[in-house]
Amino acid sequence: MRRIAVLGGTGPEGHGLALRLAAAGEAVAIGSRDPARAETTAAAIRAVLPRADVTAGENTAILADASTVVLAVPFDGLASTLERTAPSLGGKLVIDVVVPVAFRAGAFELAPIPGAASTADLVQRAAPTARVASAFQTLSAKSLLDLATPLDADVLVCADDDAARDEVMSLVRRMPNLRPVDGGPLANARYVEAAAVLLLNLNRRHHARTSIRITGL
Ligand SMILES: NC(=O)c1ccc[n+]([C@@H]2O[C@H](COP(=O)([O-])OP(=O)(O)OC[C@H]3O[C@@H](n4cnc5c(N)ncnc54)[C@H](OP(=O)(O)O)[C@@H]3O)[C@@H](O)[C@H]2O)c1
């Protein structure tokens, strides 16, 4: 039951996080709307990390076996994913990495979220008994997927549940060169999500893979 289920694990961000978690020795399940696509990504991770414990399946099916869930679907697929999976999220540690972003007039902007202050807030409202944490929005998928290049970033972790925040910070510590930063309550997730939108615009402007470091702590 310590397996980490990555919903939307076939996309670059979910794949990259699953790869880094598997490299840290965590048991991971890749989720997809299509089990065959999930298996293709799981096989790709096993090809790079032959001893990794990586399974695959349909997004809802992999939840039964998981204590931790990473939500790595695009913002416009989050509501429908929550509709199907929320009943199975109760009691689990749910790590939201979704950035509410829209692309308009040549730039990324923060997308409005009707009825919620952030995607993390949306997740918590949909699954009130889940232990929701917000993290990893400011880490680029390209960096996560590039195992040969050490990561160099801070990861802000926000949660209302102190134990949930600590668990995610411990996971971050297991990925070399990442530093977890206690980002406080889930209410702060909205600002991290906005910072991620800024990084997307900086990446576009500078043809870069930016991330953040907090100084002064
Ligand atoms: N890419 C980055 O660098 C980055 C960095 C930080 C945070 N994030 C966040 O991480 C999340 C995933 O990013 P990504 O770039 O990996 O996204 P993505 O490639 O657009 O989507 C990830 C996966 O989600 C599934 N999906 C697509 N549309 C869906 C829908 N309408 N409903 C349910 N599932 C759907 C797809 O898997 P199946 O078709 O196999 O189901 C897809 O492979 C996003 O919310 C993004 O904001 C991304």
pLDDT in tens, 86-113: 999 999 999 999 999 999 999 999 999 9
Q: What is the pLDDT, as a whole number, of residue 2? A: 84
**184 CB near ligand 1 (under 6 Å):** no
State the average pLDDT for the chain. Answer: 97
CA distances from 55 to 5, 29, 194, 210 (A): 9, 5, 33, 31
pLDDT band at 63 (very low <50, low <70, confident <90, very high): very high
Ligand 1, atom 26: closest residue by C-alpha:
73
pLDDT at position 66 over 80: yes
Partners of 108 in beta bridges: 103
Ligand 1, atom 13: closest residue by C-alpha:
13
Closest C-alpha among 114, 42, 35 to residue 75? 114
The runs of H, that is alpha helices, within 86-134 are 119-126
pLDDT at position 83 over 90: yes
- In whole angstroms, give the CA distance from residue 88 to residue 142: 30
Q: What is the mean pLDDT of residues 126-152?
A: 96
Q: What is the mean pLDDT of residues 143-152?
A: 94
pLDDT at position 186 over 80: yes
Ligand 1 site-directed mutation target among 13, 113, 209, most atoms within 8 Å of CB: 13
Q: What is the mean pLDDT of residues 186-213?
A: 97
Q: What is the pLDDT, as a whole number, of residue 89? A: 98
pLDDT at position 1 over 90: no
- In whole angstroms, give the CA distance from residue 208 to residue 127: 36
CA 33 / ligand 1 centre spacing (Å)? 11
Which atom of ligand 1 is nearest to 76's Cα?
A: 31
Which atom of ligand 1 is nearest to 13's Cα?
A: 16
Predicted model pTM: 0.98
pLDDT band at 187 (very low <50, low <70, confident <90, very high): very high
Ligand 1, atom 40: closest residue by C-alpha:
32
**75 CB near ligand 1 (under 6 Å):** yes
CA 82 / ligand 1 centre spacing (Å)? 14
